[in-house]
C-alpha cells in the first residue's frame, strides 16, 4: 500500500530556534557553575527585541543579556539593516526563582520522604507523559523524512558558514516527503527548501546552487527519480527573516526537535529546562530505551510512553507499542523495561550525564538521531535481546 509521510526541520537562524538557543545557553552557563541549578528559562523574540523570562534557582552568576547577544552574533545576525542584530537589539530580562511549592516535590520526592533509596530523592518536576521512538529504517534509528530534513538544514548552515554560498542568511527550513510501500521506504516524493538570502542573488542562481550544494549533497540519489518534486524558495524571495520576519518563542518547534511527526508527542518542550524537568530528561531516556529495543531486534519500530506525577520519582505508567513488529508481545517488553532501565529522574540524570553544559549544541537540528549524545547509545541492546531467548 502506497503512503506518503512528510517531516520538516529549521535552521538555527529560524526565529523559534534563536529563542531555543538563547534559553539553552543560559541553562548551560548555570550548569557549568552549579550542576544543581533549577532552570526554566523562556525566550521570546521579534524585530530587534528579545525577552528573557522564567524561573531560575542557582548559585551561578551570569549575564543573560550578554549570553543573548553572543548567541545572536554567533548565529549570524550582525547587520542592523536586516531588522535584528546582536548589537542593536533591545534585551529585556525578567527572571525570578523557582516556586517553593514545586521545589517541595523536586528536592524530596514522595517516595523518599523519611529516607530510603537515594535515587528516589528527586521527584518529577511536573506531571505529564513523555514519548520515545525508534525505527530501523535508517542507521540512526530515525524516520527517514525527519533524518533527511535535519541533514538539509545542517547543510544549509554549513554552506553559509564556510562561504560556499556566501549570499545565504541565517533563517531557513526544509521539508521532505517520503513514499512508503507498506512500511518499507520506496523513494523521496518531494523536497522543499526555503532559505533566507541577500538581495543581490538571483532566484535562478539560488535555486541552482541549493539543488547542487544542499539537496544533491544530502538526498541519496537512489531515492530520487523523474517524478520527485523539488521546491526551492517557492515564493521567489526570502530576504527578511529570523525574528524580524516572524516572531519567535522557546519550545515552539516540538515536532522538529523530536521525530518529525512520527509516533507521538507529550506536549512538553525541551529548551531552557534543566534535567530535573522530565519533559526533557525522560523524553531523552524514552528515546534511549526505544532505540535499544529496536537495536536489540525485539521490534522494527517502537513507541514508548512513560507518565509521571509531580513530586513522585517513579513513573505512574509505562507503555510499549511496536506497531505489530514486535518479536514478543508489547506488554512483555513493557514489564521487562524497569528491570533494565531506571526511569526515576535522578537515575536518568546520572546515567545519561545530563547535569552538564551540553544543551546549546543540540538546540537546533533535532535532539535525536545525532552523534555524541548519551541517549543515542545502544549499550543495553544485548541485554534486551535476551528476552528473545
DSSP letters of 296-326? TTS-SEEEEEEEE-TT-SS-SEEEEE-TT--
pLDDT for 124: 80
How far apart CA 145 and CA 5 sit, in angstroms, is: 7
pLDDT for 127: 84
pLDDT for 384: 95
pLDDT for 125: 74
DSSP 115: S
Fold of the domain spanning 2-10+143-241: GMP Synthetase; Chain A, domain 3 (3.30.300)
For the chain, the structural domain boundaries read 2-10+143-241
pLDDT for 102: 55
Strand partners, 176: 7, 191
Q: How many CB atoms lie within 10 A of CB 4?
A: 12
Query: Across the 389 residues of the chain, what is the mean pLDDT of every consecutive 10-residue run?
Result: 96 98 98 96 98 97 98 96 95 87 54 59 81 97 98 98 97 98 95 96 98 98 98 94 96 97 93 95 98 97 96 92 96 95 95 98 97 96 89
Give the residue from 195, 210, 209, 202 showing the smallest Cα distance to 241.
Answer: 195
This prediction has a pTM of 0.94
pLDDT for 257: 98
How far apart CA 160 and CA 294 sit, in angstroms, is: 36
pLDDT for 8: 98
**CA dist 1 to 138, 185, 190, 260, Å?**
20, 12, 18, 22
How far apart CA 293 and CA 383 sit, in angstroms, is: 10
pLDDT for 48: 96
Evaluate whether 228 touches 216 at the Cβ level (below 8 Å). Answer: no
Give the residue from 369, 183, 376, 341 showing the smallest Cα distance to 258.
Answer: 369
Residues 260, 264, 268, 271, CA torsion sign: negative
Say which residues have a Cβ less than 8 Å from residue 5's Cβ, sequence separation at least 6. Answer: 143, 145, 177, 178, 180, 261, 262
Evaluate whether 287 touches 375 at the Cβ level (below 8 Å). Answer: yes
What's the grid cell of residue 47? 524585530
pLDDT for 387: 87
Evaluate whether 121 touches 258 at the Cβ level (below 8 Å). Answer: no
pLDDT for 112: 53
Amino acid at each position: 500500500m502506497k503512503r506518503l509521510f512528510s517531516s520538516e526541520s529549521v535552521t538555527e537562524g529560524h526565529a523559534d530556534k534563536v529563542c531555543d538557543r538563547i534559553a539553552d545557553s543560559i541553562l548551560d552557563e548555570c550548569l557549568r557553575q552549579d550542576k544543581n541549578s533549577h532552570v526554566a528559562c523562556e525566550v521570546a523574540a521579534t524585530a530587534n527585541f528579545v525577552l528573557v523570562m522564567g524561573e531560575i534557582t542557582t548559585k551561578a552568576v551570569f549575564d543573560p543579556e550578554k549570553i543573548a547577544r553572543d548567541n545572536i552574533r554567533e548565529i549570524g545576525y550582525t547587520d542592523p539593516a536586516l531588522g535584528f542584530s546582536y548589537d542593536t537589539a533591545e534585551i529585556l530580562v525578567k527572571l525570578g526563582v523557582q516556586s517553593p511549592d514545586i521545589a517541595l516535590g523536586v528536592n524530596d520526592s514522595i517516595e523518599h520522604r523519611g529516607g530510603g533509596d537515594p535515587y528516589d530523592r528527586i521527584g518529577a518536576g511536573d506531571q505529564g507523559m513523555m514519548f520515545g521512538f525508534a525505527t530501523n529504517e535508517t542507521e540512526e534509528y530515525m524516520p527517514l523524512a525527519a533524518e533527511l530534513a535535519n541533514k538539509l538544514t545542517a547543510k544549509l548552515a554549513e554552506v553559509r558558514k564556510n562561504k560556499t554560498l556566501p549570499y545565504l542568511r541565517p533563517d531557513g527550513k526544509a521539508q521532505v516527503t517520503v513514499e512508503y510501500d507498506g512500511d518499507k521506504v520506496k523513494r523521496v516524493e518531494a523536497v522543499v527548501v526555503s532559505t533566507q538570502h541577500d538581495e543581490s542573488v538571483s532566484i535562478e542562481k539560488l535555486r541552482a546552487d541549493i539543488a547542487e550544494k544542499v539537496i544533491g549533497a544530502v538526498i541519496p540519489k537512489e531515492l530520487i527519480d523523474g517524478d520527485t518534486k523539488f521546491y526551492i524558495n517557492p515564493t521567489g524571495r526570502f530576504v527578511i527573516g529570523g525574528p524580524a520576519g516572524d516572531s519567535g518563542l522557546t519550545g515552539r518547534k516540538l515536532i522538529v526537535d523530536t521525530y518529525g511527526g512520527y509516533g507521538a508527542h507529550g506536549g512538553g518542550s525541551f529548551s531552557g529546562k534543566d534535567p530535573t524537568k522530565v519533559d526533557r530528561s525522560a523524553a531523552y531516556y524514552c528515546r534511549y530505551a526505544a532505540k535499544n529495543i529496536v537495536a536489540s531486534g525485539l521490534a522494527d519500530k517502537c513507541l514508548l510512553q512513560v507518565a509521571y506525577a509531580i513530586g513522585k520519582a517513579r513513573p505512574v505508567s509505562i507503555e510499549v507499542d511496536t506497531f505489530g513488529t514486535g518479536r514478543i508481545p508489547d506488554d512483555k517488553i513493557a514489564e521487562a523495561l524497569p528491570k533494565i532501565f531506571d526511569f526515576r529522574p535522578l537515575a536518568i540524570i546520572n546515567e545519561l550525564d545530563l547535569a552538564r553544559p551540553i544543551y546549546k549544541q543540540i538546540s537546533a537540528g533535532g535532539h535525536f538521531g545525532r552523534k555524541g549524545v548519551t541517549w543515542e547509545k545502544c549499550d543495553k541492546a544485548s541485554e534486551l535481546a535476551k528476552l528473545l531467548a
